[in-house]
Amino acid sequence: MTLQERDKAVIWHPFTPFKNSPVPIPVIKGEDAYLIDEQGNRYLDAISSWWVTLHGHAHPYIAQKIYQQALTLEQVIFAGFTHQPAIELAERLLKILPGNFSKVFYSDNGSTSTEVALKMALQYWWNKDDKATRKRKIIAFNNSYHGDTFGAMSVSDRSVFTLAFHEKLFEVIFIDTPTINNLQQHQLFIQDNSNEIAAFIYEPLVQGAGGMKMYDACLLNQLLITCKQKHIICIADEVMTGFGRTGKRFASEYCSTLPDIICLSKGLTGGTMALGVTAVAPFIVAAFDSEDKLKTFFHGHSFTANPLACTAANASLDLFEIPTCQKAIDTIVQQNKEWVSQLLTKNLPVKDVRQLGTIVAFEIDKGKTEYLNTIAALITKKGLEKGIYIRPLGNTVYIMPPYCISSTALQHLQQIIIELIAEC
Ligand SMILES: *Cc1c(COP(=O)(O)O)cnc(C)c1O
């Protein structure tokens, strides 16, 4: 039996209908920005394998570090024990994260990092014994995505992803991302209802799964100022935007008002292993630092701070901090700029061409914008035939390449995408 036949018999794939989905491609190797299949076909991974890969696939430096760690300590219970990779990673992250954070809480992925943030924010008010103020509500943006567990789904946009669970999700106040027109209305709403609002969770500047929708940093900053004035805990979900994707290390750096909690995953380990981080401001930590055992944060996972994952993250940070990495990011940003102006002048059926850092997105000007739009599958298929891998969100085409992509490869990718749009 082929891998594809064996797969079909036993595997349930994420976000994939059983019927009428393309047969999954067995990938046998990854190398730099490329994925290589059984036949030796090479695909340029233009979306960093769902936004995780930073420095390239099967990076020898990260692989070596993981190997050494696996021979030393592969896993240890993280209650009552600690280890060097977790401590080093926390120290390094606290130094570079945008905001005043004093503690790092580890979990397994992006969804758990936001889940932890929400639970900490709610328990903060619980621990403060401010029950009289009834600060239990959470604000999130329309069109947001914060993950697939129940808490993360609750603060995510109600969409086809969540349809089967709506009555099981907790109530959230959804507002539109800020515009010049709605900002004041948002601010008034927050001021009027601040007694009931515990926290505000947001994807800074780019709503990823919601279709790479971008919004203004100054307007977000204004919202953050209002939230902070009203003692609403600001939770930046940088699971996607972290580690250089937006051109700065973290998207929150585009704002002068910084979050109280920040969530990381995806690029955290350079895209090699699953790991989530929730970094927390001292005033929140203080509310849990009590003689009263009931104020403990009773949350954890079997693999909390797995030494291999922490080691991968430290190795990825090593590579991220080398000046050549920032240079590679700057080069992608510059090349993207030129591509954007090309897209605008070439008279293609595209609209809403937008860029933030290494991310470029636009809509194909045809049909309705929705996830189930069939054009996505067609573009992916035709792209693979031409040796590139992109995975549009509905009719939103975007690229988010790993930083190791060469200028030639990026130029090639951008050219092929223009051809694909013309063909489709
Ligand atoms: C992907 C993503 C998540 C969820 O991360 P997983 O590791 O897939 O659970 C949460 N928030 C944002 C902004 C994301 O892009």
Could you give all domains of the chain from N- to C-terminal order, each with its CATH number? 3-59+323-423 (3.90.1150.10), 64-320 (3.40.640.10)
Q: Backbone phi, then psi, for 198, in 5-degree steps?
A: -85, -40
Judged against a pLDDT cut of 80, whether residue 314 lies above it is answered with yes
Give the Å distance between the CA of 117 and the centre of ligand 1.
13
Which atom number of ligand 1 is nearest to the Cα of residue 208? 15
pLDDT computed for residue 373 by the predictor: 65
Give the Å distance between the CA of 265 and the centre of ligand 1.
7
Measured from the CB, is residue 55 less than 6 Å from ligand 1? no
Q: Are 224 and 257 in contact (CB under 8 A)?
A: yes
Q: Are 349 and 137 in contact (CB under 8 A)?
A: no
pLDDT computed for residue 10 by the predictor: 98
396 contact partners, CB below 8 Å, separation of at least 6: 211, 212, 361, 362, 363, 364, 369
**210-219 pLDDT tens trace:** 999 999 999 9
The three-state DSSP-derived secondary structure of 47-75 is CHHHHCCCCCECCHHHHHHHHHHHHHCCC
pLDDT computed for residue 132 by the predictor: 59
Q: Which residue's C-alpha comes closest to atom 7 of ligand 1?
A: 110
Which atom number of ligand 1 is nearest to the Cα of residue 152? 10
Measured from the CB, is residue 48 less than 6 Å from ligand 1? no
Over range 14-31, report the average pLDDT. 95
Measured from the CB, is residue 357 less than 6 Å from ligand 1? no
Give the Å distance between the CA of 132 and the centre of ligand 1.
34
Give the Å distance between the CA of 143 and the centre of ligand 1.
14
Judged against a pLDDT cut of 70, whether residue 70 lies above it is answered with yes
CA dihedral 365, 416, 209, 18 (to 10 degrees): 100
Judged against a pLDDT cut of 90, whether residue 254 lies above it is answered with yes
How much of the chain, in percent, has pLDDT values that exceed 70?
97
268 contact partners, CB below 8 Å, separation of at least 6: 242, 243, 275, 276, 277, 313, 316
Give the Å distance between the CA of 147 and the centre of ligand 1.
5
Most ligand 1 atoms within 8 A of CB, residue of 206, 241, 266, 278 to mutate: 266
**355-397 pLDDT tens trace:** 999 999 999 987 555 555 688 999 999 999 999 999 999 999 9
Give the Å distance between the CA of 151 and the centre of ligand 1.
13
Over range 45-65, report the average pLDDT. 98
Mean pLDDT of the chain: 96
The sheet with strand 197-202 has its strands ordered as 103-107, 276-280, 261-264, 233-237, 197-202, 137-141, 173-175
**141-196 pLDDT tens trace:** 999 999 999 999 999 999 988 999 999 999 999 999 999 999 999 999 999 999 99
Quick one: tokens of 113?
Answer: 């990092």
Measured from the CB, is residue 114 less than 6 Å from ligand 1? yes
Neighbours of 297 (CB within 10 A): 16
Measured from the CB, is residue 52 less than 6 Å from ligand 1? no
Measured from the CB, is residue 312 less than 6 Å from ligand 1? no
**27-39 pLDDT tens trace:** 999 999 999 999 9
346 pLDDT band, cuts 50/70/90, is confident
How much of the chain, in percent, has pLDDT values that exceed 90?
93
Extended strands (E) in 240-318: 261-264, 276-280
Measured from the CB, is residue 359 less than 6 Å from ligand 1? no
Give the Å distance between the CA of 40 and the centre of ligand 1.
31
**89-101 pLDDT tens trace:** 999 999 999 999 9
Which atom number of ligand 1 is nearest to the Cα of residue 144? 13
Q: Are 264 and 276 in contact (CB under 8 A)?
A: yes
pLDDT computed for residue 131 by the predictor: 61
Which atom number of ligand 1 is nearest to the Cα of residue 149? 9
Q: Dihedral sign for Cα 316, 244, 404, 112, please.
A: positive
pLDDT computed for residue 187 by the predictor: 98
45 pLDDT band, cuts 50/70/90, is very high
Give the Å distance between the CA of 53 and the centre of ligand 1.
14
Measured from the CB, is residue 109 less than 6 Å from ligand 1? yes
pLDDT computed for residue 365 by the predictor: 86
Which atom number of ligand 1 is nearest to the Cα of residue 238? 13
Give the Å distance between the CA of 266 and the centre of ligand 1.
7
Q: 145-180 as b/e, with b when 16 or more CB fall inside 10 Å?
A: bbbbeebbbbbbbebeebeeeeeeeeebebbebbee
